[in-house]
Amino acid sequence: MGGTVAPAPAPAAARSSTVTTSPANFGRIFGNLPAFAPATDDVKTSLNALGAKGGPLDAQDDLSAGPRLVISANNPNNPSHTAGTTFVGQFIDHDVTFDTSSPLGTPTDPSSSPNSRTPSLDLDSVYGSGPVSSAQLYDRSDRAKLRISSGGLFEDLARDEAGTAIIPDPRNDEHMMINGLHCAFILFHNRAVDEAREDGAKSWRDAYEQARRMTIWHYHWLVLHEFLPQVVGQPLVNDVLKDGARFYRPKTGQGFMPVEFQGAAYRFGHSMVRPSYRANLKGDEGNAFIGMIFDPAGDDQDDPVDLRGGARAPRRFIGWQTFFDYGDGEVRPNKTIDTKISTPLFNLPLGAIASHDQPQVLPQRNLLRQLTWSMPSGQAVASAMSETALSEADLSELQPYGFQSSTPLWYYCLKEAEVRANGLTLGPVGGRIVAEVLIGLIKSDPASYLARKRTWTPTAGGAGGSFRMKDFLSYAGVDPASRHAVEPSRA
């Protein structure tokens, strides 16, 4: 460690200035930029040291007091959005990108690496290949509806005899919040099926298609009108929607997943994860269920003490008033976007790692992925965007590792948010990558409302243009008011 790491040369075959790819594989936005560093053993050692528990990325949260809401000096509040923003962002990620084959730390050509999700916000993570090809996801008594199960009073994903969730993407059962969102999308769709039939749908297939379109269009609305303004800022969203993208411009039907998004900029969400959350206000024995996001003590427990997924018990549901503002004073703020990662993420359960490989330290995994994709440095991307790059003084904590002048793009995007936006949103480099890709994926989808009916506004629940995630959850019937109205006989 120490010194300065020089950028690696750009392999001509893999990093030409012309990006050619297909929706089925990963690709690049900045194909002519060199890797931030060569994939040598010394560089890997430095990356692992930077990402290690106790290193500069570790928020070093005090976890000694057991289950409680942990808010420390290194996990400051972001007053501009609530705790739910983190998990909406994760749900979106699981809908558009899933790399199951590229090895960590080994340079891999993105164009030869398959993306196991469709690179459009079409909810294939929920619908799979539809009621015929993915029949296991659908209600056997009503093919238009998705399967949902109950683990007590509240909803749960359908599970097999081993407890494994029957869903297209296993990552949507990593923890209770993402599980709960997946359930909400199922219930939203199922209610939309009922409404389609009330409106005259003549067959189960007609009802299914109408409900699926309604669910996806409301989802697109939330991405464009709530999530993106929160994480990149409304002015940047307006700029990309009005004036178009400058760097990510796929043709209709040719949206692809760029590694600068998948492996770097969009992994900002890991910085927003709190050490612990209050899952609900009335859990086991009438007490609020508060747990760590992940806790080794939960290993091999039928009803784990933490918030991991893969388990069913009466208390394991999400009370969304903790995560979205229902006006009852119970909502909690999100964490800022910065270079401090909550301590529980330095010891992931293997069940939360889709590939079940090492290391189990999330920041190390993110940093090694910069080598996997031969990712350009944050400084090089800033220059390509004609943005003022962070200075070496801004990145002085990286000097012992040699990355202060050629910084891994993932780390750079976190630091840029911290320095340029006080952690409230992403900065100009990370924000533009995220905004252009998500908006580009929607605009290039010929079935999106932007492509088919740009003036459309949401219809669910009568919220119209003010429709937000809390309205989505209310329509799905998992909001606090709906839960309070559940008959005691269901308990």
**Closest Cα partner for 190 from 165, 159, 225, 155?**
155
Task: Please write the tens of the pLDDT for every residue from 386-425.
Answer: 999 999 999 999 999 999 999 999 999 999 999 999 999 9
Percent of the chain scored above 90 by pLDDT?
81
SS (H, E, C) 186-241: HHHHHHHHHHHHHCCCCCHHHHHHHHHHHHHHHHHHHHHHHHHHHHHCHHHHHHHH
pLDDT-derived band at 464 (thresholds 50, 70, 90) equals confident
Structure tokens, 430: 């990370």
Q: What Cα–Cα distance (Å) separates residue 401 from each residue in 2, 37, 247, 366, 418?
A: 5, 12, 31, 16, 20
Cα separation of 427 and 70, whole Å? 27
Cα separation of 251 and 140, whole Å? 38
Mean pLDDT, rounded, for 255-266: 97
Q: Length of the chain in residues, anyone?
A: 491
What is residue 348's predicted lDDT score, i.e. its pLDDT?
85
DSSP class of residue 155 equals E
User: Given the DSSP bridges, would you call strands 257-258 and 26-27 parallel, antiparallel or unpaired?
Assistant: parallel
Mean pLDDT, rounded, for 106-111: 95
Query: Cα Rg for the chain, rounded, in angstroms?
Result: 22
What is residue 17's predicted lDDT score, i.e. its pLDDT?
44
Residue 304 has φ and ψ, to the nearest 5°, of: -60, 155
Structure tokens, 257: 């997943």
Do the Cβ atoms of 409 and 377 come closer than 8 Å?
yes
Do the Cβ atoms of 292 and 276 come closer than 8 Å?
yes
Query: Is pLDDT of 491 > 60?
Result: no
- The contacts of residue 132 (CB under 8 Å, 6+ apart) are none
- The contacts of residue 378 (CB under 8 Å, 6+ apart) are 36, 389, 390, 407, 408, 409, 411, 412, 413, 415, 416, 429
What is residue 283's predicted lDDT score, i.e. its pLDDT?
54
463 versus 296: the higher-pLDDT residue is 296
Query: Is pLDDT of 315 > 50?
Result: yes
Looking at residue 132, its amino acid is V
Cα separation of 245 and 418, whole Å? 24
Task: Please write the tens of the pLDDT for every residue from 29-58.
Answer: 999 999 999 999 999 999 999 999 999 999
pLDDT-derived band at 153 (thresholds 50, 70, 90) equals low
At CA 136, angle to CA 302 and CA 478, rounded to 5? 60
**Closest Cα partner for 460 from 244, 220, 191?**
191
Task: Please write the tens of the pLDDT for every residue from 423-446.
Answer: 999 999 999 999 999 999 999 999
Percent of the chain scored above 70 by pLDDT?
90
What is residue 484's predicted lDDT score, i.e. its pLDDT?
66
What is residue 19's predicted lDDT score, i.e. its pLDDT?
54
Q: Where in the chain are the domains?
A: 26-485
Q: What Cα–Cα distance (Å) separates residue 204 from each residue in 39, 169, 194, 460, 475?
A: 53, 25, 10, 20, 21
Look up the CATH architecture of domain 26-485: Orthogonal Bundle (1.10)
Mean pLDDT, rounded, for 438-455: 96
pLDDT-derived band at 71 (thresholds 50, 70, 90) equals low
